[in-house]
């Protein structure tokens, strides 16, 4: 990293050093590794016009720099309140600083859109063509750990994302990429964001979120559990027929799992209100009733 021209950096070596950080931390001079990480931080931060975010997705360096960014996120393994001169804690704080920088970039992009203040740093168009889309993978990677979710919350990332949801389809691409990146298998801010996205005024986004429930279901039916079934039941009350039909299709698939069938059966009383809302929802109610009745009684719990 002796040059400022990132195209000349040895990215395979950089990626290897980041991946092996936990092993190398006790063998490397702390100040040397800190300078190494600081240089990478300057490259990764969104406000750097000639850094990571400016790389086209078609560029040969796009893939390896993305993998390096994800490896960089893995450095954040300690709470911010812990202070130490050890390189592991220093590295964790540098990764946390990058998270703050991403939040600031999102905030500036929202201000540029809503109040025409300054320049948008992460634009919807850039997400389709540049490496800036990978910042959401960085956020998603952090969402897999308790420390990561804590850091996301402290940096107000979810505040920014919820602001985007309230702007109809202005940040639909950002919301979709974020939703696709998060981990939903334990209760917390990620699930709350998904729940709010299912209620957004943007129909296309609601439909995408509903379809995302199918992906979550297929990945882990057990973890999907009660919270997932609750969301499906609530989506049956959506005002858009396409969303409702997608929900019915997912419920049909969910009922193939005995554990989810029992959960759904216990909540059946909550769906009887569908009959009185409209003739269309009445048909949906009878369709789901028929599907539930097709399940052998020995697959349902006695209670």
List pLDDT tens digits, range 107-163: 999 999 988 888 889 999 999 999 999 999 999 999 998 889 999 999 999 999 999
At 153-206, the pLDDT tens digits run 999 999 999 999 999 889 999 999 999 999 998 889 999 999 999 999 999 999
Domain assignment of residue 145, yes or no: no
At 204-221, the pLDDT tens digits run 999 999 999 999 999 988
Domain assignment of residue 146, yes or no: no
Same domain, 11 and 130: yes
Higher pLDDT, 2 or 37: 37
- At 34 the pLDDT is 85
Same domain, 1 and 128: yes
Name the domain boundary from 139, 163, 194. Answer: 139
Same domain, 134 and 251: no
- At 261 the pLDDT is 81
**What is the pLDDT averaged over residues 258-283?**
72
Residue 94 · residue 37 · CB < 8 Å: yes
Name the domain boundary from 139, 162, 197. Answer: 139
- At 103 the pLDDT is 96
Domain assignment of residue 84, yes or no: yes
Same domain, 114 and 235: no
pLDDT exceeds cutoff 50 at 302: no
Residue 236 CA to residue 246 CA, distance in Å, equals: 9
Same domain, 8 and 117: yes
Same domain, 132 and 232: no
- At 298 the pLDDT is 56
Domain assignment of residue 135, yes or no: yes
User: pTM for the whole thing?
Assistant: 0.87
Domain count, the chain: 2
Domain assignment of residue 156, yes or no: no
- At 255 the pLDDT is 83
**What is the pLDDT averaged over residues 245-263?**
86
Domain assignment of residue 144, yes or no: no
At 269-281, the pLDDT tens digits run 766 766 666 677 7
Same domain, 126 and 9: yes
Higher pLDDT, 181 or 283: 181
At 61-75, the pLDDT tens digits run 999 999 999 999 998
Domain assignment of residue 182, yes or no: no
Domain assignment of residue 302, yes or no: yes
Confidence of residue 303 (pLDDT cuts 50, 70, 90): very low
- At 98 the pLDDT is 95
- At 112 the pLDDT is 92
**What is the pLDDT averaged over residues 46-51?**
92
Same domain, 134 and 21: yes
pLDDT exceeds cutoff 90 at 290: no
Q: Which domain does 10 fall in, by range? A: 1-139
Same domain, 1 and 134: yes
Higher pLDDT, 280 or 35: 35
Same domain, 109 and 236: no
Name the domain boundary from 101, 124, 139. Answer: 139
Label each residue of the chain as H, E or C: CCCCCHHHCCHHHHHHHHHCHHHHCCCCCHHHHHHHHHHHHHHHCCCCCCCHHHCECCCCCHHHHHHHHHHHHCCCCCCCCCCCCCHHHHHHHHHHHHHHHHHHHHHHHHHHHHCCCCCCCCCHHHHHHEHHHHHHHHHHHHCCCHHHHHHHHHCCHHHHHHHHHCCCCCCHHHHHHHHHHCCCCCCCHHHHHHHHHCCCCCHHHHHHHHHHHHHHHHHCHHHHHHHHHHHHHHHCCCCCHHHHHHHHHHHHHHCCCHHHHHHHHHCHHHHHHHHHCCHHHHHHHHHHHHHHHCCCHHHCCCC
At 73-97, the pLDDT tens digits run 998 876 666 566 677 888 888 999 9
- At 82 the pLDDT is 59
Name every residue whose Cβ is closer than 8 Å to that of residue 280 and which is 6 or more positions away in sequence: 241, 244
pLDDT exceeds cutoff 90 at 296: no
pLDDT exceeds cutoff 90 at 15: yes
């Amino acid at each position: 990293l002796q040059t400022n021209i990132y195209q000349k950096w040895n990215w395979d070596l950089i990626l290897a050093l980041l991946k092996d950080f936990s092993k190398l931390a006790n063998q490397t001079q702390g100040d040397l590794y800190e300078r190494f990480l600081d240089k990478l931080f300057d490259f990764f931060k969104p406000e750097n016009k000639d850094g990571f975010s400016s790389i086209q997705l078609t560029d040969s360096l796009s893939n390896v720099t993305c993998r390096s960014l994800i490896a960089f996120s893995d450095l954040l393994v300690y709470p911010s309140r812990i202070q130490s001169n050890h390189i592991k804690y220093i590295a964790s704080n540098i990764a946390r600083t990058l998270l703050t920088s991403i939040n600031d970039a999102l905030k500036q992009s929202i201000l540029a859109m809503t109040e025409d203040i300054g320049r948008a740093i992460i634009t919807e168009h850039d997400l389709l063509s540049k490496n800036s889309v990978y910042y959401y993978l960085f956020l998603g990677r952090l969402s897999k750990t308790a420390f990561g979710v804590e850091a996301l919350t402290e940096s107000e990332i979810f505040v920014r994302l919820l602001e985007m949801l309230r702007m109809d389809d202005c940040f639909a691409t950002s919301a979709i990429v974020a939703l696709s990146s998060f981990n939903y298998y334990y209760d917390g801010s990620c699930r709350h964001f998904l729940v709010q996205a299912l209620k957004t005024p943007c129909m296309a986004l609601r439909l995408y979120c509903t379809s995302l429930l199918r992906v979550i279901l297929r990945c882990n039916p057990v973890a999907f559990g009660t919270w997932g079934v609750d969301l499906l039941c609530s989506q049956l009350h959506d005002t858009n027929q396409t969303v409702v039909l997608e929900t019915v299709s997912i419920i049909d698939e969910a009922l193939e799992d005995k554990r989810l069938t029992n959960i759904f059966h216990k909540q059946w009383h909550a769906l009887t209100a569908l009959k009185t809302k409209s003739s269309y929802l009445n048909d949906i109610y009878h369709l789901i009733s028929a599907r539930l009745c097709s399940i052998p009684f020995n697959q349902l719990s006695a209670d």
